[in-house]
Every structure is written in structure tokens, then in C-alpha cells.
Structure 1
């Protein structure tokens, strides 16, 4: 049986990391949007003119994801060559 190309293992691992980040983003958004947003409108507090649930779920959540994706790409993802020639020179 032929050994699996190492690039597929790298791609598989990075795909799972991407799915984990997407799941984290959804949980963050859902927790703030429905956690804080389920109160009556009269009880909302506002940050920069936005309801707190929207600010934390969409504005802060966006920046948290930008930082997380940047860190993950910089420290956990690797550059994978697509050319057969580059693979043979390894």
C-alpha cells in the first residue's frame, strides 16, 4: 500500500483547525447574540450606540477572530509546495 503524501496530512490537520475556529466563532456569536440579546429591549445597554449583545457578538467577535486566525496561520500552518519538482528536492 502506498504511503499517504505528507501534504494530505498537513491539509487534513489544517482543515480541522479551520473547522475548530469556525465552531468557536459560531459559539462566541451565539452566546453573546442570544445570551445578551434575549433580554427585553428596555434592559439593553449600549456601547458606541450599539446594543451590547451586538457589540460583543459582532464587533468584538470579529476582532477576536482576526487575532486568532492570524496567530493560527503564523504559528500552526505550514507552507506546502504544490509542485512535484519541489517535493522531489526535499
Structure 2
């Protein structure tokens, strides 16, 4: 019989991988999507080029919120010590 902790750990690892892929897609999309043009035509947000603001600042804030939500909704606190075998 497989330990139930492995099933939980696999689910949480998959959620972590999805969050990393989502973070990279957001960063790459804004950085190379908005930043690939002529620098003289950049738009600015709070003094930063728009590509930098959305990929590095806003993207980071968005990912912190996503990670916090994932931790609250999907992650469980489980004991890591081995369970005593039932006799």
C-alpha cells in the first residue's frame, strides 16, 4: 500500500511546476512582447519601461498572490515522520 503522503506530495509538486511555467510565460510574454520594439518608442509606467514594469514588477506581485492562494487552497500540512505500523 502506497503512503498517502506521496499522493499529496505529487499533487503539490505539480501545482509548483504549473506556477513556475505560468511565471515564466508571464515574464517572457511581457519582456519580449513589449520589449522587442524600438527603445525610442517604449511606453513608461511609473518611470519604468512598460515591458519591465509588467514582466518584473507587476508579474512578481501577481505571482506572489497566486502562490499565496495556492498555498491556502491546495497545500496541506502533513506530518513527515513515519506513521507507526498498526499491529
Q: For the superposition of Structure 1 and Structure 2, which TM-score range results when normalised by the shorter chain?
A: over 0.9
Two-structure CA RMSD over aligned residues (Å): 1.5
1:48 CA drift (Å):
1.1
2:62 corresponds, among 61, 64, 88, to 64
Which structure 1 segments of 5+ residues have no match? Answer: none
User: 1:53: which partner in 2?
Assistant: 51
SS at 2:2's partner residue?
Answer: coil
- TM-score normalised by the chain length of structure 2: 0.93
Q: Aligned residue pairs: how many?
A: 86
Cα distance in 2 for partners of 1:8, 1:33 equals 37
Which structure 2 segments of 5+ residues have no match? Answer: none
Q: Which runs of 4+ in 1 moved over 2 A?
A: none
1:84 CA drift (Å):
2.4
Q: Which protein is richer in helix relative to its size?
A: 1
